[in-house]
Chains A and B, each alone.
Chain A
Amino acid sequence: MPPAASRARRALLLGGAALALQPLARATERPNTLAPWQPARPPRLQVVDLETEQPRTLADFAGHALVVNFWASWCAPCRAELPSLNAAADRFAARGLRLLAVNHGEMPERARRFLAEVPIHGTVLLDRSLSQLPAWGGHGLPASFVLDRRGRPRYRAFGELDWLAPAALAALEDAVAG
């Protein structure tokens, strides 16, 4: 991971538009931080599995704590957080945590080319409609959402995270225990 000061300068990318990390008037929480997440409605996921090309929903992962991470190959902050995100997913995998990496709007060929270079330790899903990120309340990339093993929304983060930082590990611990 880059040093914190460098991370703080990184852009949060919105479908092509760069958003500075501070101040984000539209966001109610600080960027680059896992914050408690209480959506008005339970989140729904309508995506396609990159590997099987089959539709997937949250029901397919019932019983698992989840990190739903929205990313794209062109998003530098997404790439930057992947090493720590992969490491965190590995660390909690035995306790039921699953990483759902939702590609935002790209075609399978592009996603596969990226994954050949930068592996993701989770299930890679495609949202070619570009509809899921805004439906989950995201307005830039990367965006991450944590649900506990009962499927309850717990935390969300906009922008690149250090997933091995104590606060992030505590949040994941909370999710797998939930």
Chain B
Amino acid sequence: MQRRHFIRLSTLTPLLGAGAFTSLAGARALPAGADAQGWRSYDITTTVDLSERTGMGRVWVPLPAQQLADASGAYQRVVDTRFDAPGAKQAHVVTGTAGARMLAVEWTDANAPQQLTLTNRVQLRDRATDLGASRQAARLSAEEQRTWLRASASKPLDGIVADTSRKIVGEAGAQSDMEKAKAIYDWIVVNCHREGSVRGCGTGDVKTVLTSGNLGGKCADLNGLFVALARASGVPARDVYGVRVDDSAHGYKSLGKSGDISRAQHCRAEFYAQGYGWVPVDPADVRKVMLEEAKGGLPATDARVRAANAMLFGAWEMNWLGYNSAEDVRLPGHRQAAPVAFLMYPNGETAKGRMDSLDAATFRYAIQSKRVA
């Protein structure tokens, strides 16, 4: 049995190069602040200490996407991934559904600690699309078009989803990808709301959001709805599941989290517009500002809401990192056959059953974010 793992993965991209890693290591002593290109570095450390120790314990922890880029260039890159899983039978990085990367760990000794420490060093810089002028962004391949126009279990594109999308786009007179996406974004901001009683980030079940009668939910529900409505209108779109890693530099206390980020998971969305490439949006965060930024909530006319509304169509503040855009994710080796709707939280199972991903305290996992440069 393999008793101990301490594996360092060299995930440096060609863009970064080995020389850059050396300078990054040296930058740890530098005062905090983005570098000349706007990059900020973070160590994101996930610790797991399975509370329910049996002869079979497995976890699947999402890993940051190695590189995220749009027509303007990269805005996320992973510098280094390290993990230590003492007593584990096996621990390895797996690339699953739609490229979703995860660390899969298995323990078999019920009498030994079943613990994991995983640290990802990531570099992030803010992302914004110039919406003023169409550019010559690379065209989406036919295969990618199919992938990001496809229905999924949580995002059916027929019935009420198709009807709603057609109504929104028709009433707005939207023709281009950009116009359709803007009409859908505006409709969600005006008509949907963040529902504080929803657990975690919601289920992402967009049909339920539309049929519930109150159009409430959290990020996976509302941004998932944006994605589904966009796809139904013929605009390629996808969620990006991730986690907030820092406070917002724009002063929104509701749109950032640093330190203990165990419950700071957040799903964003992007759509593909001809000539622009992938365009970031986050209508769910507009509604979060309205609900949470000030006690008693803020009206749509408040300057803070209007600023967020303008910012979040075309830009993401990268005080957040993205894991993946996968839907209906199969966890390799999981005893339960049904896929999970998305991979944004640590998942786990023991001989006694599935661990509750949304209950970090009982599962016993924690995620810490530390700004290192």
Contact = CB atoms under 8 A, between A and B. Distances in A.
Nearest to B338: A131
Interface of A: 11, 13-20, 22-26, 48, 53, 74, 76, 105-110, 126, 128-131, 139
Interface of B: 51-52, 160, 195, 197-203, 205, 207-209, 211-214, 216-218, 221, 336, 338, 352-356, 358-359, 362-363
10 contacts: A13-B197, A17-B195, A17-B208, A17-B212, A26-B211, A48-B352, A106-B356, A109-B51, A110-B359, A128-B354
Given A24-B212, A24-B213, A18 B352 contact: no
B216 A20 contact: yes
B137 to A, nearest CB: 35
B212 A18 contact: yes
Contacts of B359: 106-107, 110
Contacts of A20: 212-214, 216
Nearest to B361: A110
B202 A17 contact: yes
A25 B356 contact: no
B203 A105 contact: no
B213 A22 contact: yes
Given A20-B213, A25-B211, A14 B205 contact: yes
B203 A14 contact: yes
A107 B195 contact: no
B199 A16 contact: yes
Given A14-B208, A16-B202, A17-B209, A130 B214 contact: no
B353 A74 contact: no
B199 A74 contact: yes
Nearest to B340: A130
Given A13-B197, A24-B213, A26-B211, A107 B221 contact: no
Nearest to B209: A17
A131 B139 CA distance: 41
Contact of B198 (A18, A105, A106, A129): A18
Contacts of B336: 129, 131
Contact of B52 (A19, A48, A106, A107): A107
Given A17-B205, A19-B208, A105 B354 contact: yes
Contacts of B52: 107-109
B195 A18 contact: yes
A23 B213 CA distance: 5
